[in-house]
């Protein structure tokens, strides 16, 4: 049966849910929450003009994805993909540095996060849909020669994108991320986070991001991470993400991730890891990426000291400089060929 998307900007959460329940009488519907623009005014350190792309929602309707776009429009893009439960704000320290090196920087908000639309029901979020939405995004913008920079769920999605559309990607920087298949345990640190994400009555995004940093974030920064979520009804995507990580071989996403690994084990474009030294969730994953991806050989892999899980907060400027140097090194190598 055909779904339609209901866009409910400016409505209260209560009236929106009443309207969406009414819409369901006509058939299954992707009911969408859209965070009011006023929530994003005067955020500390965030002065990027909003851009939007309309994407298929997977059920015959559409969703609006927000992205920041800075730098020369004709330059090859650097695609910055965030994870859980952050948004493009996480890259605010990095965007000016990379754009200042004459690269086009594109930082989208995943569906369910930031200024992007937020389906109101948990079941509307699946791993496959997140991948499909991002495929639609890079196709809509017709991005090619992409440098992918991915952290947390940005890697779980981004590494799939690169494996499934390799011709659009030029190189990859993986930071505190991995591509799980469920064939190995995700580790106790992740399992604790997964339990917490489902059991806590108040999913306090700002405090969660603060807890994943080594630095103590000011109240204004934590408020900026809370901005996309006026109340708990806007957080279904954030709540669902931890459950979508494959933790068993029978997970719905496990086979697609195995196929992606088959491609990545033959990946011959430059691949760099830039993990932090203090992330209990992804610790050690960089060694597996380096060992299994051929193009990771002889790259200047970096461990960023003094960084937690959200290394873009703790050491964003340092990570940006690493990305710029990595691109320059590879472009110089190509010129010498």
Convert the pLDDT of each residue in 116-152 to its tens digit. Answer: 999 999 999 999 999 999 999 999 999 999 999 999 9
Q: Which CATH superfamily is domain 47-336 in?
A: Alpha/Beta hydrolase fold, catalytic domain (3.40.50.1820)
The pTM of this model reads: 0.90
What is the per-residue pLDDT for 59? 87
Q: Are 179 and 264 in contact (CB under 8 A)?
A: yes
Q: What is the mean pLDDT of residues 257-284?
A: 97
182: left (phi over 0), alpha (psi -120 to 50) or beta: left
Distance of alpha carbon 227 from alpha carbon 187, whole angstroms: 31
For 196-223, the pLDDT digits (tens) are 999 999 999 999 999 999 999 999 999 9
Measured in degrees and rounded to the nearest 5, phi and psi for residue 106 equal -125, 120
Burial class (CB in 10 A: 0-12, 13-18, 19+), 163: buried
Which residues have C-beta within 8 Å of that of residue 190, sequence separation ≥ 6?
Answer: 245, 281
Stronger pLDDT, 59 or 151, i.e. the higher one: 151
Exposed e or buried b for every residue in 58-96, given b needs 16+ CB within 10 A? bbebbbbbbbbbbbeeeebbbbbbbbbbbbbbbbbbbbb
Q: What is the mean pLDDT of residues 268-272?
A: 97
What is the per-residue pLDDT for 252? 95
HSE (side-chain half, CA atoms, 13 Å) at 275: 21
What is the per-residue pLDDT for 337? 53
Residue 163, H or E segment = helix 153-164
For the chain, what is the mean pLDDT? Answer: 91
Q: What is the mean pLDDT of residues 283-302?
A: 96
Distance of alpha carbon 53 from alpha carbon 153, whole angstroms: 20
> Which residues are the active-site residues?
152, 279, 309
Name the pLDDT band for 332 (thresholds 50, 70, 90): confident
Distance of alpha carbon 37 from alpha carbon 48, whole angstroms: 13
Q: How big is the chain, counted in residues?
A: 337
What is the per-residue pLDDT for 15? 33
What is the per-residue pLDDT for 331? 83
**Of 318, 323, 321, whose CA–CA distance to 305 is shortest?**
318
| Residue 67 clears pLDDT 80, i.e. is over it | yes
**Of 180, 174, 127, whose CA–CA distance to 150 is shortest?**
174
Q: What is the mean pLDDT of residues 71-93?
A: 98
């Amino acid at each position: 049966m055909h779904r339609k998307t209901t866009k409910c900007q400016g409505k209260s959460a209560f009236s929106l849910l009443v309207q969406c329940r009414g819409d369901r009488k006509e058939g299954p519907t992707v009911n969408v929450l859209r965070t009011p623009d006023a929530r994003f005014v005067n955020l500390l350190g965030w002065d990027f003009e909003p851009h939007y792309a309309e994407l298929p929602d997977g059920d015959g309707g559409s969703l609006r994805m927000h992205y920041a776009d800075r730098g020369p429009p004709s330059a090859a893009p650097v695609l910055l993909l965030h994870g859980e439960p952050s948004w493009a704000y996480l890259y605010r320290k990095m965007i000016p540095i990379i754009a200042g090196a004459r690269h086009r920087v594109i930082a989208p908000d995943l569906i369910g996060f930031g200024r992007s639309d937020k389906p109101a029901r948990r079941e509307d979020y699946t791993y496959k849909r997140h991948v499909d939405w991002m495929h639609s995004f890079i196709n809509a913008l017709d991005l090619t020669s992409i440098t992918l920079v991915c952290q947390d769920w940005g890697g779980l999605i981004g590494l799939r994108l690169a494996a499934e559309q390799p011709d659009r990607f030029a190189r990859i920087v993986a930071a505190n991320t991995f591509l799980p298949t469920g064939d190995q345990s995700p580790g106790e640190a992740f399992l604790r986070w997964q339990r917490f994400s489902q059991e806590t009555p108040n999913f306090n995004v700002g405090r969660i991001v603060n807890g994943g940093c080594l630095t103590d974030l000011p109240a204004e920064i934590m408020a900026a991470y809370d901005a996309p979520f006026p109340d708990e009804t806007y957080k279904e995507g954030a709540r669902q993400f931890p459950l979508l990580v494959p933790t068993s071989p029978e997970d719905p996403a496990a086979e697609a991730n195995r196929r992606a690994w088959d491609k990545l084990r033959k990946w011959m474009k430059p691949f760099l890891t830039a993990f932090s030294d203090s992330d209990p969730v992804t610790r050690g994953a960089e060694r597996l990426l380096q060992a299994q991806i051929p193009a990771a050989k002889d790259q200047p892999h970096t461990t960023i000291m003094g960084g937690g899980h959200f290394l873009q907060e703790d050491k964003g400027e340092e990570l940006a400089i690493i990305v710029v140097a990595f691109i320059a090194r590879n472009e110089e190598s190509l010129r010498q060929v």
